[in-house]
Amino acid sequence: MTLLPLAYLPSVSYFVHLLRGGCVVDLGEHFVKRSERNRTRILATDGVMELTAHVCHANRPRQPMRDVRLDYSKRWQHQHWGALVASYRSSPYFDYYAERFEPFYRREYGFLVDYNLGLLETLCTLAKIPMPQLSESYVDPRPGDLDLRPKHPKGPAFVAEPYFQVFSDRLPFAANLSFADLLFAEGPASVSVLGRCRLE
pLDDT one-digit tens code per residue, 38-96:
999 999 999 999 999 999 987 777 889 999 999 999 999 999 999 999 999 999 999 99
Give the integer Cα–Cα distance in Å for 144 and 155. Answer: 12
Whether the CB-CB separation of 126 and 134 falls below 8 Å is answered with: no
Closest CA to 190 of 116, 126, 99, 133: 126
The whole-number pLDDT of residue 26 equals 95
The whole-number pLDDT of residue 7 equals 98
State the chain's mean pLDDT as an integer: 95
Number of separate domains in the chain: 1
Whether the CB-CB separation of 112 and 70 falls below 8 Å is answered with: yes
Q: How would residue 154 be classed by pLDDT, with cut points 50, 70 and 90?
A: confident
* Mean pLDDT, rounded, for 95-102: 97
Give the integer Cα–Cα distance in Å for 28 and 36. Answer: 16
* Mean pLDDT, rounded, for 160-188: 96
* Mean pLDDT, rounded, for 158-183: 96
Whether the CB-CB separation of 24 and 139 falls below 8 Å is answered with: yes
- pTM for this predicted structure: 0.95
Q: Could you list the residue range(s) of the whole structural domain that residue 104 is in?
A: 2-199
The whole-number pLDDT of residue 150 equals 83
Whether the CB-CB separation of 50 and 40 falls below 8 Å is answered with: yes
% of the chain with per-residue pLDDT over 70:
100
Looking at the DSSP bridge assignments, the partners of residue 26 are 5, 135
Give the integer Cα–Cα distance in Å for 48 and 42. Answer: 6
Closest CA to 180 of 68, 76, 108, 96: 96
Which residues 6+ apart lie within 8 Å of 118 measured at CB? Answer: 104, 109
